[in-house]
């Protein structure tokens, strides 16, 4: 009988040749792979390395620390603007007829490239935001003490006080005992057609219990400048009184007078004898509701600003009116029904459409021109 061991030995002896073949195959594959690796090895190209040159010792400059004094002023200094005069010949101003009843064609709110006053808070006394080349207005109410206590005065006292202001270098300290509105307004023109005097305190934000008309004073300050040389004069129609001075020189002073009143009887009471018009056209032609008073000729050099102040006041009547127009020397103007020139209003910016609406509500047509004429600014 065959033993299990013999059977196993027999089985082993049978498998030996195939295992050898397998081993041979494995070894052959290994040699082939090794050969491939040896033949196809990629040679890496070495990048040349940059070696910087040695630094050269150079002598250093001894710099001094600049001595800078910090400015205490918070405002930036004004920059000098170089104005290049255009070589193109300019045409004379064309006097266009006033557009009435037509909505389009005029500056509507923010227009063009110019910075227009923001319409929010605009009224005919001014805007609550400045555009830079406007005049700043401060409101004093002579019916109230500095602390707001009602303390009215007579017309004579009012005239004396106003006259004192005019004669004392326009010192606003004269009104220090009276109530001053905390709000200021900024105006680019003086065109207040005949309207309720009590609208002035309302315009300046006076408390409603203090907003009655009459015996108030508005003092505007700003700069007068024009881009070219210009000679012109103001025409002023006022109720009750308005005066303008340029570089502290009184150039026009007007009080209410019209065909219904007895000549120009009030001006001497308001301004005394400190100024009188030299023009034969003064107090001859109605503008709005009152005679226009012709001021002195003023010459502006191109781009040279001059100090300008305007003071306006009203008596104890229902209405107030202030119209400041300009007549440029040598210009011809169309005539109103009263025979006087239809002059352009004084302005430091184009009148916006919204502003025109407010003006036209109270201003008759064909007496003053709001759209033409010079714009007093340096550009």
Partner 1 sequence: MKAIGYRLSIILAAYGACTFDAASQLQAWTLTNGEVVEGELVNFFGDNVSLKTREGRTLQIPFLRFTEEDRTRLELENPPKLDISLTSVSEKKNFPAGPRPETQRPPEQRVHYGVTVKQTSTGSYHHELTLDMFIIGQERLGDRFLLLDHQQAPFRLDAQNRRIFDFRSNREVGLKNFTISGFTRGEKYFGYLAIVTDARGKIVAAGYSHEWLWNNVEELKMRGIGNFMDESCKRVFPTRPKPFF
Binding residues (CB under 8 A) for partner 1: these are 99-104, 108-109, 119, 143, 152, 194-199, 201-202, 208-215, 258-260, 286, 288-289, 316-319, 337-338, 354, 356-357, 360-367
Q: What tokens does 106 get?
A: 């005029």
Residue 170 or 338: the one with the smaller Cβ distance to partner 1 is 338
Whole-number minimum distance, CB 284 to partner 1, in Å? 13
In the bound state with partner 1, the residue whose beta carbon lies nearer, of 108 and 307, is 108
Minimum Å gap between C-beta 305 and partner 1 is 34
Q: Which is nearer to partner 1, 47 or 208 (CB)?
A: 208
Closer of 210 and 328 to partner 1 (Cβ): 210
Measured from the CB atom, the residue of 335 and 337 that comes closer to partner 1 is: 337
Min CB(163)–partner 1 separation in Å: 20
Please write down the long-range contacts of 336-339, taking CB distance under 8 Å and 24 or more positions apart. 336/285, 336/286, 336/287, 336/366, 336/367, 337/366, 338/285, 338/286, 338/367, 339/284, 339/285
Distance set, CA 172 to CA 138, 196, 324 (Å): 10, 25, 22
Give least dist CB 361 to partner 1, A: 5
- Alpha carbon distance 301, 166 (integer Å): 27
**Could you tell me the smallest distance in angstroms from the CB atom of residue 275 to partner 1?**
26
- By C-beta, is 158 or 275 nearer to partner 1? 158
- Residues 110 and 114: their CA atoms lie apart, in Å, by 8
Give the C-alpha separation, 179 to 216, whole Å: 10
């Amino acid at each position: 009988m065959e033993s299990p061991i013999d059977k196993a030995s027999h089985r082993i002896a049978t498998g030996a040749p195939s295992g050898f073949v397998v081993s041979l195959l494995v070894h052959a594959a290994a040699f082939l792979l090794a050969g491939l690796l040896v033949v196809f090895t990629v040679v890496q190209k070495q990048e040349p390395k940059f070696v910087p040159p040695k630094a050269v010792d150079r002598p250093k400059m001894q710099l001094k620390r600049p001595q800078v004094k910090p400015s205490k002023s918070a405002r930036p200094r004004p920059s000098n603007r170089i104005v290049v005069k255009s070589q193109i010949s300019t045409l004379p101003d064309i006097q266009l007829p006033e557009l009435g009843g037509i909505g389009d064609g005029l500056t509507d709110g923010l227009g063009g490239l110019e910075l227009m006053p923001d319409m929010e808070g605009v009224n005919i006394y001014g805007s609550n935001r400045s555009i830079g080349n406007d005049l700043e207005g401060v409101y004093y109410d002579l019916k109230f003490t500095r602390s707001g206590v009602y303390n009215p005065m007579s017309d004579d006292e009012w005239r004396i006080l106003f006259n004192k202001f005019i004669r004392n270098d326009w010192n606003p300290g004269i009104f220090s005992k009276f109530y001053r509105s905390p709000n200021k307004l900024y105006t680019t023109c003086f065109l207040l057609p005949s309207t309720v005097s009590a609208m002035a305190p309302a315009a300046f934000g006076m408390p409603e219990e203090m907003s009655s008309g009459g015996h108030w004073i508005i003092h505007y300050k700003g700069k007068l400048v024009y881009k070219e040389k210009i000679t012109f004069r103001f025409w002023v129609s006022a109720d009750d009184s308005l005066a303008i001075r340029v570089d502290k020189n009184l150039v026009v002073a007007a009080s209410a007078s019209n065909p219904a009143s007895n000549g120009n009887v009030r001006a001497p009471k308001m301004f005394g004898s400190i100024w009188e018009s030299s023009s034969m056209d003064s107090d001859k032609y109605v503008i709005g509701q009152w005679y226009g008073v012709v001021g002195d000729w003023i010459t502006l050099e191109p781009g040279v600003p001059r100090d300008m102040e305007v003071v306006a006041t009203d008596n104890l009547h229902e209405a107030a009116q202030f119209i400041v127009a300009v007549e440029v020397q040598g210009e011809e103007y169309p005539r109103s029904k009263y025979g006087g020139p239809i002059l352009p209003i004084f302005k430091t910016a184009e009148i916006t459409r919204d502003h025109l609406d407010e003006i036209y509500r109270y201003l008759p047509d064909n007496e003053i021109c709001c759209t033409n004429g010079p714009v007093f600014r340096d550009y």
